[in-house]
Amino acid sequence: MRPGTVYLVGAGPGDPELLTLRAAKLLAEAEVIVYDHLVSAPILELGASGAERIYAGKERGNHTLSQSELNQLLVRLARAGKRVLRLKGGDPFVFGRGGEEVEALAAAGIAFEVVPGVTAACGVAAYAGIPLTHRDYANSCLFVAGHLKDGSVDLDWDSLARPGRTLVVYMGLLGLPTLCRELVIHGLSAATPAAIVQHGTTASQRTVVGTLATLPQLAQAARLGPPTLIIIGEVVRLQAKLAWYEKGAVEAGAEIGLERAQALAR
């Protein structure tokens, strides 16, 4: 790693085995790790033992730092000659504000590198046994944030309520009743299959499957909490048949996965 450089790195959806080789290498070399709340503990453990760790988590209504303050922190650390790893859950350019952060770095003349990660939509769907596209069910897929920048759930419902497509909603748990209701109002059948996955790709993963009519009540009954990912569309019908990530396999593989990731970082 070059001194005075910020590496914007995607940590993937949680399982350390889903880190890229580049991400594992940079974790082991970083002097400062600035990380989000979606970065799992096993991934943080892969960082160099002497690296300074700075939590910069953003949860709905609870931001450790404002985006402006975070941007300034990255610039300040880089100008001090530090090798800075900005670690973000999933992929930094998919609902991760990565674009805003590198804009600030570029404006300040700071050298940076972007390392993509497995975005939650792909990783969580795979571990839940839900293919995002399938020739018999969906020929396109759309990723959308469950709320706008102002915090509202006033989305472009007409463009979202399209049959024959998979809709993946990030950060949508709080607005789930509104989401399901509006999609039905704007043309999707209330019987459209829908699923919500909590803590996807980790040992605490839970998947709840229903329809647009039933999913809000099912999620509430299951007492799900963030982070979650919502998947809507006919592909959800395949979940019962294709689900492979059972709890026993998670527990047996978690330690092996961490050991492999540590080996890659050496």
Helix, strand, or coil here: 206? strand
Q: What pLDDT does residue 154 have?
A: 82
Question: What does the buried/exposed string (b/e) look like for 189-203 if buried means 16 or more CB atoms within 10 Å of the residue's CB?
Answer: eeebbbbbbbbbbbb
* Percent of the chain topping pLDDT 70: 88
Taking residues 20-29, report their average pLDDT: 97
Average pLDDT on 42-63 reads: 84
Predicted pLDDT at 23: 98
pLDDT value of residue 149: 67
| pTM reported for the whole predicted model | 0.88
Could you tell me if residue 240 is left (phi over 0), alpha (psi between -120 and 50 degrees) or otherwise beta? alpha
Lowest average pLDDT, out of 81-90, 211-220, 237-246, goes to: 237-246
pLDDT band at 1 (very low <50, low <70, confident <90, very high): confident
pLDDT(60) > 70:
no
Would you please indicate which residues are annotated as catalytic (active-site) residues? Answer: 36, 58
Range name among 54-63, 101-110, 119-128, 223-232 with the lowest pLDDT average:
54-63
Domains of the chain: 5-118 (3.40.1010.10), 121-242 (3.30.950.10)
User: What is the four-CA torsion angle of 207, 261, 116, 135, rounded to 10 degrees?
Assistant: -40
